[in-house]
């Protein structure tokens, strides 16, 4: 499953993308609310069409990094296109080059567009939390490394 496999016909492709955005909307609304509150504390909003997301940069709360809520990304830094380490690298399991945070978070946007509000319970069920063991994080890291395999149940090819 990949967005590059969507139909080439613009009308059908746009319809499927719109349905994905609508399906993720209940969770996106939480992201929009948090982002709107953060604007009063110095956050900046920016639409990233390539990521299909509204990004609130310099989000003032949290431990650092980013979190995706539907088609909204809350990022504590000044630019989502920054390098970061994979979860496996942070855990000391592998030594691999940095990835781009925007690519990692885009994978989560795609996951939300397929799973909608089911994303959050499934995320917690399959990996427990934010760690290298979570297959959603593994898939997002894989996608950020290769541009493929954002689906959590895709064949893992980390060679």
Residue 80 has pLDDT above 60, yes or no: yes
pTM for the structure as a whole: 0.90
The pLDDT score that the predictor gives to residue 5 is 65
Share above pLDDT 90 across residues of the chain, in percent, rounded to a whole number:
74
Residues 5-17, mean pLDDT to the nearest whole number:
81
DSSP string, 44-93: EEEEEGGGTEEEEES-SSSSSSEEEETTEEEESSS-SS-EE--HHHHTTS
- Where is average pLDDT lowest: 1-10, 60-69, 105-114? 1-10
The pLDDT score that the predictor gives to residue 159 is 43
The pLDDT score that the predictor gives to residue 131 is 83
The pLDDT score that the predictor gives to residue 1 is 41
Average per-residue pLDDT in the chain?
Answer: 91
Output DSSP code: residue 156. P
Rounded to whole angstroms, the Cα distance separating 28 from 32 reads 6
Domain residue ranges of the chain, discontinuous segments joined by +: 7-146
Residues 130-158, mean pLDDT to the nearest whole number:
87
Convert the pLDDT of each residue in 19-75 to its tens digit: 999 999 999 999 999 999 999 999 999 999 999 999 999 999 998 999 999 999 999
Residue 157 has pLDDT above 60, yes or no: no
Residue 3 has pLDDT above 60, yes or no: no
């Amino acid at each position: 499953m990949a967005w590059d496999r969507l139909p080439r016909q613009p009308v059908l492709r746009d319809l499927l993308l719109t349905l994905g955005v609508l399906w993720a909307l209940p969770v996106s609304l939480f992201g929009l609310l948090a982002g709107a509150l953060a604007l009063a504390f110095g956050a900046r909003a920016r639409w990233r069409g390539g990521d299909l997301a509204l990004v609130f940069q310099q989000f003032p709360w949290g431990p650092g990094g980013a979190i995706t809520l539907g088609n909204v990304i809350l990022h504590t830094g000044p630019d989502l296109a920054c390098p970061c380490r994979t979860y496996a690298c942070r855990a000391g399991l592998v030594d691999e080059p940095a990835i781009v945070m925007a690519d990692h978070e885009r994978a989560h946007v795609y996951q939300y567009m397929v799973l909608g509000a089911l994303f959050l319970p499934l995320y917690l069920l399959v990996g427990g939390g934010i760690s290298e063991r979570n297959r959603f994080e593994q898939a997002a890291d894989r996608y950020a490394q290769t541009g493929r395999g954002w689906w959590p149940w895709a064949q893992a090819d980390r060679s």
